Every structure is written in C-alpha cells, then in structure tokens.
Amino acid sequence: MTEKGTIFSQNVKHIAFNEEHQKKMLARYIFFQCVAEDCANHYANVELEKSRAFNIRNKAFKYYDKFLVDFETNVINNGGIVKWARDADEAKYMVYNILSDEKAKNVVKTKSILAEEIGLMPFLEMKKVNITETDTGDFICYQYNERPSDPKHSAAHRIREDISETFTEKFGVKENLSPKQLITVTRKVLSDKYLNADAAITGADFFVADTGDIILSEDEGNVLKSIANADIHIVLVGIDKLIPSIDDLSVLLPLSSLYEVTKNKAKSLYTILSKPAKDEFRNQKLYVVLVDNNRSKMLEKEQQRRILTCIECGACHSVCPVFNTIGGHVYDNAFPGPVGVIQSISDGYENSAHLATLCLSCHQCEEYCPMKIKISDLVLRNRIEIAKEDGSLLGEKRVFNFILKHVSNRKDMDKSKEFFNRVELKQMLKKTWGARREIPAFAEKSFSEMYREINNFDQ
Ligand code: SF4
C-alpha cells in the first residue's frame, strides 16, 4: 500500500464508526432523496435532456483545440485578457502575479473547487495577500482552517451549536444563534470586505467558445457582490468547462441545478459575463486564467475522460453509500466522492490506488447523473489500470485466481469449504479487509450435498 493509502485507511477507520458523523450523513442522504424525487417531475422527458447534454459536451471534446482558441479570441475582442496555466503552481503564481501587478491589496474570493484543487487560498495567504472567502459554507470551514467536506454544502459536517460557539469566540456575537442569525453575522462580517475589495477571484460553471461569455452561478448573491466593486476580476476556470455555443446553456443550466429546484423554484442564480464592467464609475479589468492541471492527460484516456463532462451537480456523492459513510474530508482531493475518485487517475497511481477502492458498484449515482456518466464503470476502469501497475496486488491476485478456479466447479467448491473456514485464510484477509469484516463460515453441507443426500443420488 502507498503511504497515502496507509494514512487514508487510518482516517477511514476513524470516521466510518463515528456515530455522530453517521447520523449527520444519514440526514443528508434522506434530504437529498426527498428533493430528488420532486426535481425529476420538472421535466417531461428528463432522459432526453440528459442525452442532449451528453452530446453537447462530447462535441466540445471533439473540437477542443478549435473551441479553446475561439474562446480566447472572443474574450480578447470583448476586452478581457486570457492566461493559460499548465499546472497548479503556474495557476497560483499567475493569480498572485496579477494581484501584485495590479497592486490589489484587498481580495474577495467566491466558491471554486478548482481553487481548492490547486490550493490557492493557503498559497495567497502565505504570500501575505489579504484574501476573504465569501461563500457562507466555505467561510465557516475557513474559521476552522479546514477545507469544505462537500462540493455543494461545504460545512455539512458541522453542527449549528458548534458553529455558533466558534462565531461567538471569533466575532464576539451572542451565544447559541439560529442558522438564520449565523448567516446574518456572516453577511455583516463580509459586507465591508465587498465594499473595500480591489480584486475578486471567482470560478466559472462554463465558458462559451462562440461568444467568449463566462457563466457564473451562485445561490446567495456573494458572486455578484464580489465583482460589483472590484476593479480586477480574475476568473479561474478549468479547460474542461468549455461549451461550444451560448445556445447550449438552455440545456445545461437547468440540468446543473436539477437537484436544487424545490417547490418549483430554482435556487441558483446565473450570471452571463460578456465583458469587463466599464462605465463612468468603473474601469474593470477581466482576467481569465484557463487551467489544465492534468485535464489534458485525462482527455487522452478514452474512457475516463467522460468524467470531464461533469457539471458538478453533486448528485453522485449525495447518493453514494461510500461517501455517505466516510464523508468528504477523508478523500484527499478537492472534489470528494465518485468524481474525485475517477479524476485521481490522472494524478498517478500513488495518488489514486487507495481511492479506487471507494466504490461498491451499486450504480445508484448513474441513475441520478444528469450527464449520463457511467461512474461505476469508470471507477472499475481505474482499478484495472491501477492493478496493472501495482505489484503489491500480486498476492491478492493469486488468492483470487485460486478461489475462482474452485468456485467454478461444484464438487471442488464443496471440497474447499474447509479451506474457506480455515483460520489462516481469515487472518490473511483480515490484514487486507480490516478487522471488522469476516468471511461468513461455510455451512457443514452445501445445498447440492443435501439435495443429493435427500434424493439418494449417490447410491
Ligand atoms: S458525475 Fe454526474 S452526478 Fe456526479 S456531480 Fe458530475 S454531473 Fe453530477
């Protein structure tokens, strides 16, 4: 097992048997199931829309080189500046250099999984940039110096009482505040930050090749507030978020918030950003930092590249039994849950081998995925690639080949029950499967033996 894998197993053991954690995760799962049922009813034929979305993203893949250049040309024509970052370090320095060159002192940031992926916030803080997170969930996590546990509901792992105590400690507010009061405190703390911001860093849901537009989404208004005053707007976006045409939004935007529509109301607010704000009051500069960071490597993988069509709706991890057992913090990548598991393959086998075990092949996620991604199959694909590289699996392979050989023959299987009941085998599996799992004891007589006996077949 890799070093990362060993640390990971210890963390899993710790969290998977924590009852408090399990209760929170169960409540979250039940909530999603209720919402999802309601959401499916908003489409006359949701499967047709999913197929259309799939085709749009596939088209983007096919003509990536052309579409990316089209996008760059259109952004420049619209008055923006495009920068290309090959990896996380390049992206971080690019953002930092823009802020330094523009002499931006106060920076506000909105939720961005890519920023988490490249470790932007700690890097900018290390460089003494005065940066503030403005997404409520991420803002809460920031108070604890931890990363979001869930791509959609960042602070889902924290309980109200705990957050209230921390807010009292940090902001001197009353004790035992309600969720609504906690949000009010957050907004008050942030209001000055928006007003004094020199620069805003946002992510983007999509960027459009044929117009150069950038699509921003939010559900609390912090994105618009962040870019309203700032003279510098930096959009940090992965190259996978490319879509060919502005018309494609009619399919993709409703699907992006498919599981956020409750009681006929969509919670998401979308902004189509075409150009930097320039009027008598402002002369805003717009920078778009396009980040690769292993996405090209993923594009080369014929199967797994399907994961790049993900629109981050969050459905798969909401229904994933593994995610709902261990939570998001155990995954050591920015996008926890099945998406991160698949993406990790582009980061080398040392970083993905331990994650590839996190799938039970229940296929639940695929029922909900708006992009029709065969998530479990892609995890399996990762496993095949990892098994080819990982020499330490050779022992397990031999045992399984031996078992397979015996279970395929009825008589052999009947004979081998003693082998399966052997203490040594159980001890051996305990090492790889953990102390809490055991092979159930084989019955004294198999069904076929009993059947033969009752019917006197052998006499
Ligand atoms: S893989 Fe599918 S279900 Fe999971 S977040 Fe992406 S689009 Fe949603």
Q: What is the pLDDT of residue 124?
A: 97
Q: Please give the distance, rounded to the nearest whole angstrom, from the Cα atom of residue 342 to the centre of ligand 1.
A: 12
The protein residue whose alpha carbon is closest to atom 1 in ligand 1 is 310
Q: Is the model's pLDDT at 310 over the cut of 90?
A: yes
Q: Which residue has the higher pLDDT, 413 or 73?
A: 73
Q: What is the pLDDT of residue 287?
A: 98
Residues 260 and 333 placed together within one structural domain of the fold: no
Residues 437 and 318 placed together within one structural domain of the fold: no
Average pLDDT over residues 272-278: 93
Domain containing residue 378: CATH number: 1.10.1060.10
Three-state helix/strand/coil letters over 155-216: CCCCCHHHHHHHHHHHHCCCCCCCHHHHHHHHHHHHHHHHHCCCEEEECCCEEECCCCCEEE
Average pLDDT over residues 99-119: 96
Residues 208 and 73: beta-carbon distance below 8 Å:
no
Average pLDDT over residues 235-246: 97
Q: Is the model's pLDDT at 33 over the cut of 90?
A: no
Lowest average pLDDT, out of 41-45, 329-333, 338-342, 433-437, goes to 433-437
Ligand 1 pocket check for 356: Cβ under 6 Å: no
Give the amino acid at 49. E
Burial (Cβ within 10 Å: 0-12, 13-18, ≥19) of residue 118: buried
End position of a domain, from candidates 361, 391, 421: 391
Beta-strand pair 199-202/285-291: unpaired
Q: Which of 93, 92, 95, 76 minimizes the C-alpha distance to 233?
A: 95
Residues 201 and 263 placed together within one structural domain of the fold: yes
Ligand 1 pocket check for 369: Cβ under 6 Å: yes
Q: What is the pLDDT of residue 413?
A: 74
Q: What is the pLDDT of residue 275?
A: 94
Q: Please give the distance, rounded to the nearest whole angstrom, from the Cα atom of residue 347 to the centre of ligand 1.
A: 20
Q: Which residue has the higher pLDDT, 317 or 393?
A: 317
Average pLDDT over residues 85-91: 97
Q: Please give the distance, rounded to the nearest whole angstrom, from the Cα atom of residue 139 to the centre of ligand 1.
A: 24
Q: Please give the distance, rounded to the nearest whole angstrom, from the Cα atom of residue 343 to the centre of ligand 1.
A: 12
* Ligand 1 atom at minimum distance from 337 CA: 4
End position of a domain, from candidates 369, 391, 413: 391
Cβ neighbours for 108, distance < 8 A, ≥ 6 positions apart: 131, 132, 134, 190, 193, 194, 197, 199, 200, 201, 226, 230
Cβ neighbours for 238, distance < 8 A, ≥ 6 positions apart: 114, 290, 291, 292, 293, 295
The protein residue whose alpha carbon is closest to atom 6 in ligand 1 is 310
In a domain, 374, yes or no: yes
Mean pLDDT, the chain, rounded, equals: 88
Q: What is the pLDDT of residue 418?
A: 72
pTM: 0.87
Res. 393 pLDDT band, cuts 50 70 90: low
Ligand 1 pocket check for 314: Cβ under 6 Å: yes
Lowest average pLDDT, out of 58-67, 149-158, 336-345, goes to 149-158
End position of a domain, from candidates 336, 365, 391: 391
Q: Is the model's pLDDT at 261 over the cut of 70?
A: no
Average pLDDT over residues 387-395: 71
Average pLDDT over residues 59-85: 96
| Residue to substitute in 373, 375, 376, 379 for testing ligand 1 pocket (most ligand atoms within 8 angstroms of CB) | 373
Torsion angle of C-alpha atoms 186, 189, 191, 192, degrees rounded to 10: -170
Ligand 1 pocket check for 313: Cβ under 6 Å: yes
Residues 284 and 363 placed together within one structural domain of the fold: no
Domain containing residue 114: CATH number: 3.40.50.10420
Cβ neighbours for 363, distance < 8 A, ≥ 6 positions apart: 375, 376
User: Which structural domain range is residue 254 located in?
Assistant: 42-293
Q: Please give the distance, rounded to the nearest whole angstrom, from the Cα atom of residue 152 to the centre of ligand 1.
A: 11
In a domain, 35, yes or no: no
Residues 94 and 63 placed together within one structural domain of the fold: yes
Q: Please report where in the chains the tokens 């080369």 appear, as a residue.
A: 300
Q: Please give the distance, rounded to the nearest whole angstrom, from the Cα atom of residue 211 to the centre of ligand 1.
A: 26
Ligand 1 pocket check for 350: Cβ under 6 Å: no
In a domain, 238, yes or no: yes
Average pLDDT over residues 24-40: 81
Range list of β-strands (E), 40-121: 81-85, 106-109
The protein residue whose alpha carbon is closest to atom 8 in ligand 1 is 313
In a domain, 226, yes or no: yes
Structure tokens at 314: 């969050």
Query: What is the Cα–Cα distance from 99 to 104, expressed in whole angstroms?
Result: 5
Residues in the chain: 459
Q: Which residue has the higher pLDDT, 70 or 157?
A: 70
Q: Please report where in the chains the tokens 């045992």 appear, as a residue.
A: 399
In a domain, 253, yes or no: yes
Ligand 1 pocket check for 94: Cβ under 6 Å: no
Residues 91 and 83: beta-carbon distance below 8 Å:
no
Average pLDDT over residues 276-287: 91
Query: What is the Cα–Cα distance from 419 to 115, expressed in whole angstroms?
Result: 52
Residues 241 and 136 placed together within one structural domain of the fold: yes
Helix (H) / strand (E) element for 339: namely helix 338-343
Helix (H) / strand (E) element for 131: namely strand 130-133
User: 3-state class of 48 per DSSP?
Assistant: helix
Q: Please report where in the chains the tokens 């620069």 appear, as a residue.
A: 199
Residues 413 and 277 placed together within one structural domain of the fold: no
Q: Which residue has the higher pLDDT, 236 or 353?
A: 236
In a domain, 176, yes or no: yes
Please tell me the total count of domains within the chain: 3
Residues 88 and 178 placed together within one structural domain of the fold: yes
Q: Cβ atoms within 10 A of the Cβ of 91, count?
A: 27
Residues 129 and 183 placed together within one structural domain of the fold: yes
Q: Please give the distance, rounded to the nearest whole angstrom, from the Cα atom of residue 371 to the centre of ligand 1.
A: 7
Residues 247 and 356 placed together within one structural domain of the fold: no
Residues 428 and 287 placed together within one structural domain of the fold: no
Q: Which of 332, 241, 337, 258 minimizes the C-alpha distance to 49?
A: 258
Residues 221 and 324 placed together within one structural domain of the fold: no
Strand partners, 81: 287
Query: What is the Cα–Cα distance from 95 to 118, expressed in whole angstroms?
Result: 11
In a domain, 403, yes or no: yes
In a domain, 319, yes or no: yes
